[in-house]
Amino acid sequence: MATVSEHPEKAAAYIADRSRSRWHDGALWFVRSKRDRMAHSLPEWERLRSTASQIKAHTIANLPEILQQFEANAKARGVHVHWAADAQEHNEIVLEIIRKQNATRVVKSKSMLTEECHLNPHLEVNGIEVIDTDLGERIVQMRGERPSHIVLPAIHIKKEEVGETFAKYLGTEPGASDPQYLTEAARQHLRSKFLEAEVGITGVNFAIAETGGFVVCTNEGNADLGASLPRVHIACMGIEKLIPRLVDLSVFVRLLARSATGQPITTYTSHFHGPRPGCELHIVLVDNGRSRIRDSDEFRSALGCIRCGACMNTCPVFRRSGGHSYDAVVPGPIGSVLSPAADTKQHRSLPYACSLCGSCTDVCPVKIPLHHQLLTWRQQIASQGLLPVSKTAAMRAGSMLFQHPRIYALAGALGRRALRWLPKSWIYNRANPWGLDRDLPEPPVESFRSWWQTNRQGTSVDEGMKSKEAKNGK
Amino acid sequence: MGSKARDSRQAILDRLRSREVTPVELPAIFGDDSISQVAIGFDDPPTQFAGTVEAVGGLCLQVGSMQEALNKLEQDEVYRDAARRCSLVGDEIPGNVNLQEIEDPHDLSSLDFLIARAEFGVAENGAMWITDRDIRHRASLFITQHLALVVSRHSIISNMHQAYERIGQPETPFGVFIAGPSKTADIEQSLVLGAHGCRTLTVFLVDEPA
């Protein structure tokens, strides 16, 4: 089992570099603003969201039937359909297809599923070269990192750093940082990889039960080159990627790019309904824990996620702490819901990487109640006894305090004096992790209780509030 | 893999069936309302389309005929400099690469200019629908350095709902919406045109029957 990863510790390093944290925040806020402009430009936006949400809820409820319908229609179109219960089986299926071709060179476009299954390392140890062809993913791959965002994998990296990486691996001018120049170098490099590859792997944005086809959306055209040059195309998808009808695409295609990057549509929206003549098309349907999430009334709707990343772009915690602080394949609000479902203990801190501001829920194009689900996770994590002692001890102390008015009054009196007179080092130390990033407020001279006794004695609380409101002119 | 894969298929389906989930009705896209009542529409879809094509990084030229399109092309430096040109729009515009004579799409790696026809365009996002019905190698659409698409101004519709209504059921194995040239913003969110696919996209909005 993987070690427990704590978000605050991982985030601390990123936040320590204040200018980088601010830069990251600004870059994502820019994307979020573009999303807002696009959402506001369509009067039917809310109608689209609720329709999308219902279509996904219907799909998830009827998943076994819809999967079988998809399989039958895909097979009728000459597609090979594979089923994988977990990540390992997925990786074995993909490797076997590649081996049957005697192939060693693979190009892969973005797929969070293959990331989740750790496909690249599996293929690499078996002697297969896998080149990520999305520019952001290629940059991250060369640097030996993981993507920090599901739509913008290299959003955490500055152009000067990309320049250094390309100088090292692609022989570009040392010190060059012009995005146009660097992109051109990557274009030349990746073209040679596209032409050499024997197999192309892509993800799937939407698979259509009614037609047995699927759709892949990119701006760069990398999935399209990877699927149209090599003889063999393998498409890997989670079982939740299905939609029932082709017309449903109209709803999702309109929502996806607008929510993701603020574009009206991605440059390429490719519909695959069968192999090219003389070629092979494989689809791998992967469960890997999805059916378990479907069992849960609380978290089921998270399977409707279309991986647009809007919740990350708007999240105040993600924007400042960077995607790597989540130590999960899918970071941000949706990742903080999905990751604990896969391994609650390992990801127990993620539902707390959230201010419950609700912005993620507001922007989600399929109306997943993300911040409610994060709150639910907190309750489940506490009831499973997975909270760190620092939190449980504080909660117990708080509970005791609020149940005993005399102790509460005494603690208040002590606190008011202590905060004023104690040296800072006594208040802000390791016993008070809360105080690491926050200043305690200036304590009032008297307590509310004593103020009440002096000014409002004899009146009930209700009357007192009324007279206060009248004074404030409410 | 064979029997194990079959086992996994059954295991996944059994697992899904073991849990009854409250049924949710599959909605009509806009309930009882028609698409034109709910979804955005435009008084002049071709004009809106032309504007959107430019907004997503393409160049949109409104022409009366294919001859006029050719005249415009011949004024274009990119087209004049293109050594290997492929035309899929008929004899009005000549090319020197014949897709039908090419066996392996890898041989298209030096293609400089492709001009093809799109079935229709969508005003809300500047996307055009192209299938592999008349395109022997779908790779040609993506591997070419520069792409020009011809679309009838009478084929322009307002939104994606109308688009999928029009597509009906896919008859060919491949169809793609293309909106603008290939692009990326993966380096510090700076928009760069020409990532892996075409560097430029020229759209000829031609005044001929759809």
The predicted model gives A457-470 an average pLDDT of 62
∠ Cα B39 B45 B49 (to 5°): 100
Report percent pLDDT > 70 for chain B: 97
Q: What is the mean pLDDT of residues A67-87?
A: 98
- Asked whether the predicted pLDDT for residue A253 surpasses 80, the reply is yes
At A432, the pLDDT band (50, 70, 90 cuts) reads confident
So what's the pLDDT on residue A444? 87
Confidence class of residue A474 from pLDDT cuts 50, 70 and 90? very low
Q: Which of B130, B135, B142, B164 to mutate to test the interface with A (most CBs of A within 10 A)?
A: B142
Q: Which of A448-452, A454-458, B42-46, B94-98 has the lowest mean pLDDT?
A: A454-458
Stated pTM of the model = 0.93
Strand, helix or coil for residue A144: coil
- Spell out a b/e string for A280-319, using b for 16 or more CB atoms within 10 Å of the CB, else e: bbbbbbbbbbbbebbebebbbbbbbbbbbbbbbbbbebbb
Q: Do B186 and A134 touch (CB under 8 A)?
A: yes
What amino acid is encoded at A390 in this protein? S
- Closest C-alpha among A438, A35, A27, A11 to residue A257: A35
pLDDT interval class at A426 (50, 70, 90): confident
As separate numbers, helices (DSSP H) first and strands (DSSP E) second, chain B gives: 7, 10
From the list A159, A211, A291, the residue facing B187 with the nearest CB is: A159
From A166, which residue of chain B is nearest by alpha-carbon distance? B187
Query: How much is the pLDDT for A430?
Result: 77
Identify the closest residue of chain B to A29 by CA–CA distance.
Answer: B189
Q: Lowest mean pLDDT of A86-90, A391-395, B61-65, name the range.
A: A391-395
Residues 137-166 of A with CB under 8 A from B: 139, 152-155, 157-159, 162
* pLDDT confidence band for A460 (50 / 70 / 90): low
pLDDT at site A58: 98
- The β-bridge partners of A218 are A268
Q: Which residue of B has its CA nearest to A238?
A: B12
| pLDDT of A2 over the 60 cut | no
Closest CA of chain B from A265, distance in Å: 6
pLDDT average, residue stretch A423-446: 81
Residue A61 is predicted with a pLDDT of: 97
Please determine, for residue A431, whether its predicted confidence score (pLDDT) is greater than 90.
no
Chain pair A-B, CB pairs under 8 angstroms: 245
- Residues B86 and A230: their CA atoms lie apart, in Å, by 21
Which chain B residues contact residue A76 at CB under 8 A? none
Residue A472 confidence (pLDDT): 56
8 Å CB contact of A250 and B1: no
Q: Flag whether pLDDT at B2 surpasses 60.
A: no
Q: Taking CB atoms and an 8 Å limit, are B198 and A83 in contact across chains? A: no
Residue A358 CA to residue A364 CA, distance in Å, equals 10
- A296 to chain B, any CB pair closer than 8 A? The answer is no
Q: List, for residues A15-43, the tens digit of each pLDDT value.
A: 999 999 999 999 999 999 999 999 999 99
Given pLDDT bands bounded at 50, 70 and 90, which one contains residue A470?
A: low
Contact A93 B1 (CB under 8 A): yes
| Position B1 pLDDT exceeds 50 | no
Which residues, including other chains, have CB under 8 Å from residue A300's CB and lie 6 or more apart? A60, A293, A294, B21
Per-residue pLDDT tens over the stretch B69-85: 999 999 999 999 999 99
pLDDT at residue number A394 = 84
Is the per-residue pLDDT at B95 higher than 80? yes
**Quick check: A360 and A339 in contact, CB under 8 A?**
no
Residue A57: what pLDDT? 98
**Binary contact (A228, B139; C-beta < 8 A):** yes
Share of chain A above pLDDT 90, in %: 82
Q: Give the residue from chain A lying closest to B19, CA to CA.
A: A295
**Alpha-carbon gap: A81 to the closest alpha carbon of chain B (Å):** 10
Q: How far is A243 from chain B (nearest CA, A)?
A: 10
pLDDT over threshold 90, residue A393: no
**pLDDT (tens digit per residue) in A168-194:** 999 999 999 999 999 999 999 999 999
Nearest to A281 by CA among A103, A70, A75, A107: A75
Return the biggest CA–CA distance within chain A: 91
In chain A, positions 3-42, which contact chain B (CB-CB < 8 Å)?
Answer: 27, 30-31, 42
Please tell me which residue of chain B has the smallest CA distance to A198.
B106
Q: A181 vs chain B: nearest CA distance in angstroms?
A: 9
Beta-sheet strand order (sheet of B128-131): A242-243, A206-208, A213-218, A268-272, B174-178, B128-131, B120-121
A324 Cβ contact partners less than 8 Å away, ≥ 6 residues apart: A10, A14, A145, A146, A148, A156, A331
CB contact under 8 A, A270 and B141: no
Taking the Cβ of residue A193 and every Cβ of chain B, the question of whether any pair is shorter than 8 Å is answered with no
Q: Alpha helix locations (H) across A42-154?
A: 45-61, 63-76, 87-100, 112-116, 119-125, 135-142
Query: Which residue in A31, A159, A228 is closest to B142 by CB distance?
Result: A228
